[in-house]
């Protein structure tokens, strides 16, 4: 299947060019905040009717979310994916025009920002992580679609009918569109699962449960797709022909998610004082 003729640059005005990748971050945060606003307004979903902070505060947090995603994503990429190069070229660490970003790093940055923001509002920080788990799939979906448009992070060669010949592939052979696999698994499917947990099973009433389910779902989906997604060229496989940095970084997320789910389901409720 030939690659769709999609220009990676969405808008160009003279020397200024805005890429789909940048718009994915922007709209991911905006749509995530809008969906988060609706969750925060629906107080019956939350533990004892108390969301982590007021719905109106989500727009303040959106600004910090954007900064934390970019900073965390860049730091994660520098440290885990290309430290050899950046340690020799430190000024290049702040040059995000080369595209190097890490989803794991962005996730870590977003979690730290959410915890500090929620504590400043006097809310439950575990519930703020639940909120992130409920909305993060939106940004992941858009981000992976933009990876596809950029013709990057594609998979191994395949004979399947939906194999794509990417224009950036020097071999010009059909490959797994692993970006779309991740968009569907980590984005769409995980969103649906969490939506059922939040609105049917009222999972937000157990702080930490939704965050744990998100972490488990993301880690499993990412690790599965990594088996057919080509590893970063500068790293290659870490062990034989199967272990990648993405799988290695997903392991603590998986373990943390399991710990959160166990905690949320076994935590004893404090009695309500009159």
Is it the case that residue 271 has pLDDT exceeding 60? no
| Domain assignment present for 2 | no
| Domain assignment present for 244 | yes
Contact partners, residue 208, CB within 8 Å, separation at least 6: 126, 129, 130, 260, 261, 263, 264, 267
| Domain assignment present for 18 | yes
| Domain assignment present for 1 | no
Strand (E) positions, the chain?
A: 9-13, 16-19
pLDDT tens track for 140-185: 999 999 999 999 899 999 999 999 999 999 999 999 999 999 999 9
pLDDT number for residue 25: 87
pLDDT tens track for 232-253: 877 788 877 789 988 999 999 9
Contact 227, 70 (CB under 8 A): no
pLDDT tens track for 40-82: 999 999 999 999 999 999 999 999 999 999 899 999 889 888 8
| Domain assignment present for 33 | yes
Give the domain extent around 60.
Answer: 9-266
Cα 274–chain centre separation: 41
% pLDDT > 70, the chain: 96
Domain count, the chain: 1
Contact partners, residue 181, CB within 8 Å, separation at least 6: 155, 225, 228, 229
| Domain assignment present for 118 | yes
pLDDT number for residue 69: 92
pLDDT number for residue 98: 64
| Domain assignment present for 76 | yes
Is it the case that residue 1 has pLDDT exceeding 90? no
Picking from 109, 195, 176, 178, the residue whose alpha carbon sits closest to that of residue 144 is 178
| Domain assignment present for 3 | no
């Amino acid at each position: 299947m030939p690659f769709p003729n999609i220009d990676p640059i969405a808008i160009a005005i003279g020397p200024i060019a805005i890429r789909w990748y940048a718009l994915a971050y922007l709209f991911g945060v905006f749509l995530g905040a809008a969906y988060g606003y609706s969750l925060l307004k629906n107080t019956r979903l939350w533990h004892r009717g108390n969301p982590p902070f007021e719905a109106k505060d989500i727009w303040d947090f959106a600004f910090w979310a954007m900064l934390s995603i970019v900073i965390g994503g860049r730091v994660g990429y520098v440290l885990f994916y290309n430290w050899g190069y950046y340690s020799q070229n430190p000024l290049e660490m702040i040059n995000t025009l080369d595209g190097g970003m890490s989803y794991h790093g962005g996730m870590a940055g977003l979690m730290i920002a959410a915890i500090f923001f929620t504590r400043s509002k006097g809310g439950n920080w575990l519930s703020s992580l639940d909120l992130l788990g409920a909305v993060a799939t939106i940004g992941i979906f858009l981000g992976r679609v933009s990876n596809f448009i950029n013709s990057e992070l594609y998979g191994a060669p395949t004979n399947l009918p939906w194999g794509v010949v990417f224009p950036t592939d020097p071999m010009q052979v059909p490959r797994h569109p692993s970006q779309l696999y991740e968009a569907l698994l980590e984005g769409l499917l995980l969103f649906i699962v969490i939506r059922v947990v939040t609105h049917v099973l009222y999972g937000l009433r157990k702080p930490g449960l939704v965050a744990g389910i998100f972490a488990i779902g993301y880690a499993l989906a990412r690790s599965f797709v990594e088996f057919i997604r080509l590893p970063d060229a500068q790293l290659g496989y870490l062990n034989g022909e199967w272990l990648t940095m993405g799988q290695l970084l997903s392991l603590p997320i998986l373990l943390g998610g399991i710990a959160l789910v166990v905690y949320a389901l076994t935590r004893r409720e404090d009695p309500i004082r009159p």
